[in-house]
Structure 1
Amino acid sequence: MTVAVVCAGFVLSPAVASAQPSARPHYPVSYEYRDAAVAEARNPAAAPLGANDWACKPSTLHAEPVVLVHGGGNTRLLDWSALAPLLANNGYCVFALTYGLLPNTPAPLGLVGGMTPIEHGAQELGDFTDRVLAATGADHVDIVDHSQGSLVSDYYAKFLGGADKIDRLISLGTLWHGTNTLESATLLTQRATEQGLPLSVDALMGPICPPCLQIQHDSAFIAKLTSGGAAVPGVTYTDIITSNDEFVIPYTSGYLPAPNATDHVIQDYCPGDRTEHTLLPYDTVAAQLVLNALDPSHAERPTCTSSPPNS
């Protein structure tokens, strides 16, 4: 796996030290992706620590529950094993779903989310958000998402009524303008066509991973989402990007040009941070930027670390 500059072992962000209600548990926070992988292997489909306490009631300080939306080909546990307990320790009611499971598919593939069309995932997110609002009594949620989850969340906001229910939308490794990850596959199919072989990217990827086609920069889905601007009025957007992103190509696709959007590049804070796409949810700089976006009045500048990279 590509490397990221993060703190090893069980560590806490500086913001975690704030006083918390004594009735709520305090969770260990690991920024090691391997710990999340071990937890997923031991208990597939589980929620991450700190998430999905349906009895949680938001405090006056943090009145909006936080919904975590994972990336494509992922699960709530693999993506949010650091941020879920971190946010819970900071007094937030935290909820996480795994969306986009392939129907009638056995494990392990059947346990991996983000594999159905993005529109389907957005509807699942909408249903989950309604459940969170009903359980907590809140009027709005804040959403923290990763990768494909940003498109799922924004589609929900723009086309499925989510704008009236979302206050803040905070995205890690987003791709508002799509990505060029299938460019080599496109060249391969062009060569095959020239040789008279009936091969296409759609035929190869469509049945296996519809979102893999939807996230490409020239897809009909991206054109629809960005028509008139991807940002939805009334929602506050924060984008957290890494210049080392090997999945969002180019990484500048994560910039959202809108008056209600703020873009952060990890390396603008810590030039030596080697975090790439997959490990953004396990980067301590990204974690602090998430906390800042959720609570701007108590924002702190992220601290760079010289710890060995996570791998």
Structure 2
Amino acid sequence: MSYIRISRIVAVALAAAALGTAAGAQAQPDTGSAEQPLPVGSTIEPPIDCAPTAAHPYPVVVLPGADGTPEQTAAQWDTMVGALRGAGYCTLLFQGGISNDRRWNGDMPGEAGQVADFVTKVRQTTGAAKVEIVAHSAGSIVSNYYLKVLGGAPAVSHAVFMTPEVRGCDGAGVVGIPNPPITPVQMLHALPFLRSALAASSHEFAVAMQMTPDSPVYKAIFDTAVTQPGVTYSVIATRRDQLATPAPACSVIDEPGVVNEVFEDLFPDAAPVDHSLIRSSDDTAGWVLRQLSR
């Protein structure tokens, strides 16, 4: 349900646009199909078998992005989870919205509710007053819905985001064409009837449409300030991001108090990363640890 997924509609949208142009491109009313209820999907919850310490009183809930399958998660997140646990954090990796063997592939408000339920369970089991969230890509969108719309901020001390999708993303990343003449987001804005038509056509499109700029879900997160009182926010992006475009602007939370940093500026001699690989970098893991300690 991210801008990354919106980009998958490009071929369909361009074809529809061609037809619409030939017919005079009469914009049809949006029927609201994109906001019809979607299945939430299942979860994979880790055992809550660790305890906070005096040095690290808040457990860390790790929320992966939508890249890869649940079966690939352990390999993708071994570096980050290993660094957090090695530093003494009670670290728990949670996967939600699992549908068709993909994470965050369901109704986003429902997925945020899954995160809320897991955070409550972690706090009740460990006795911790709050948790920290470390999220990547689509996991950051679900986090922001939980923090802002579902009122989860009082239960969270710090939100650390890697290549999040925020405002101004254009959905053009995976098209593979530099500076396309029209982006998927522009297309949907120009032809608003496409959103409802695509949402009605398949589950995947319905999920993607929840994150278009005209969607109530998007507006609930981004139309006003994203950040919430009492939560510390840290963001790391990469200029080599091929999915959250334009990079790194698409990932910036331009609000007071937010740390926004770019991987290449921090680690000019490091091995290259992209939208996905940033979460598997030792350098990123070290950066996350430094953010959690501030």
TM-score, normalising length: structure 1 = 0.68
Q: Which runs of 5+ in 2 are unaligned?
A: 1-42, 173-181
In the TM superposition, 1:203-282 aligns within 5 A as 203-204=200-201, 206-217=202-213, 219-251=215-247, 252-273=249-270, 274-282=272-280
Q: Which runs of 5+ in 1 are unaligned?
A: 1-44, 103-108, 297-311
* DSSP 3-state at the match of 1:208: helix
Match of 1:41 in 2: none
Match of 2:113 in 1: 123
* DSSP 3-state at the match of 1:81: helix
Please state which structure has a larger fraction of its residues in helix.
2
1:168 maps to 2:166: no
* Distance change >3 Å, CA 190–CA 120, structure 1 → 2: closer
Q: In 1, are the aligned partners of 2:198 and 2:206 still within 8 Å (CA)? A: no
Match of 1:151 in 2: 141
* DSSP 3-state at the match of 1:263: strand
1:283 maps to 2:288: no
| One-letter amino acid matched to 2:58 | E
Q: CA RMSD in A?
A: 2.9
| One-letter amino acid matched to 1:256 | I
Q: In 2, are the aligned partners of 1:178 and 1:218 still within 8 Å (CA)? A: no
TM-fit CA distance, 1:228: 2.1
Higher relative contact order (CA 8 A, sep 6+): 2
| One-letter amino acid matched to 2:88 | G
* Distance change >3 Å, CA 217–CA 53, structure 1 → 2: same
TM-fit CA distance, 1:135: 1.2
* Distance change >3 Å, CA 283–CA 63, structure 1 → 2: same
In the TM superposition, 1:1-311 aligns within 5 A as 52-74=46-68, 75=70, 76-77=73-74, 79-102=76-99, 109=100, 111-177=101-167, 179-181=169-171, 200-204=197-201, 206-217=202-213, 219-251=215-247, 252-273=249-270, 274-296=272-294
| One-letter amino acid matched to 1:169 | A
* DSSP 3-state at the match of 1:82: helix
Match of 1:25 in 2: none
| One-letter amino acid matched to 1:214 | Q
Q: Deviations over 1:79-123 (max 9, x none)?
A: 422211221111010111110022xxxxxx3x3211002111100
